[in-house]
Amino acid sequence: MYKSDFEALKGKVVRFTEVIESFEVGFDPGMRAVVKSVSFDDHSDGSASARLELDFSMFEETNKEFGKNTYYDSEGTPRLYWWETQFYPKDKVEELWLAVGNYPVGFEVVPELSDKVIRYLGVYEAAQRLREVYEPKSLLEGVLNPFTNDSLEHKCWTAGIAGQNLPSEVYDLAQEE
């Protein structure tokens, strides 16, 4: 993948393929995440690396069916899953560094999920950002809330303002395929 290909991943849902097992990462084939951000590190030799920030929170439960117990417990036996270790990020966001160019990436985009889910994530994240600027109470009372009260967008907006998790309906959409 080249820079423009990586940039196009922002906000997309990706599913990890068997190739991901050749990388030193905690996630396994079949797991999914949302590409939260993409940045680049240009090297002096003309090559570049892409840094993908992956958000696993939306697929946390679904991803458990794909996990492999390859982490060693205190007795030296590989029984632990990634999410049971100290390596699993508390904020459920992990970095993945990849070489820019004609190299394997270890994932594929899942467009049908990306289109459904990212709209609601955008509303939720926008509400969280506004919460940092305005008083949450006025935002919860509908001031600045552009959505009708019965819409999923309204639920996402309200959850973002209140500092709560996304509504379960969004997670249900994320599980569909």
Q: How remote is the C-alpha of 164 from its chain's centroid?
A: 17
In this predicted structure, what is the pLDDT of residue 107?
92
User: Any idea where the domains of the chain sit in the sequence?
Assistant: 3-109, 112-175
158 and 169 Cβ atoms separated by less than 8 Å: no
**What's the pLDDT tens digit per position in 4-19?**
899 988 888 899 999 9
Which residue has 């993409």 as its token pair?
Answer: 38
Task: Kindly indicate the confidence band of residue 110, based on its pLDDT and cuts at 50, 70 and 90.
Answer: confident
**What's the pLDDT tens digit per position in 15-31?**
999 998 888 888 899 98
**What's the pLDDT tens digit per position in 70-80?**
888 888 888 88
In this predicted structure, what is the pLDDT of residue 70?
84
In this predicted structure, what is the pLDDT of residue 82?
84
Q: Is the pLDDT of residue 34 over 60?
A: yes
By mean pLDDT, which of 39-48, 56-65, 151-160 is the weakest? 151-160
Q: Is the pLDDT of residue 85 over 90?
A: no
Distance CA 16, CA 21 (A): 9
The arithmetic mean of pLDDT across residues 34-54, rounded, is 91
Task: Kindly indicate the confidence band of residue 48, based on its pLDDT and cuts at 50, 70 and 90.
Answer: very high
Q: Is the pLDDT of residue 177 over 60?
A: no
In this predicted structure, what is the pLDDT of residue 53?
94
Instruction: Give every strand in the sheet of 93-99, ordered side by side.
Output: 93-99, 48-55, 32-42, 13-16, 107-109
Distance CA 54, CA 92 (A): 8
SS3 letters across the chain: CCHHHHHCCCCCEEEECHHHHHCCCCCCCCCEEEEEEEEEEECCCCCEEEEEEEECHHHHHHHHHHCCCCEECCCCCEEECHHHCCCCCCCCEEEEEEECCCCCCCEEECHHHHHHHHHHHHHHHHHHHHHHHCCHHHHHCCCCCCCCCCCHHHHHHHHHHHCCCCCHHHHHHHHCC
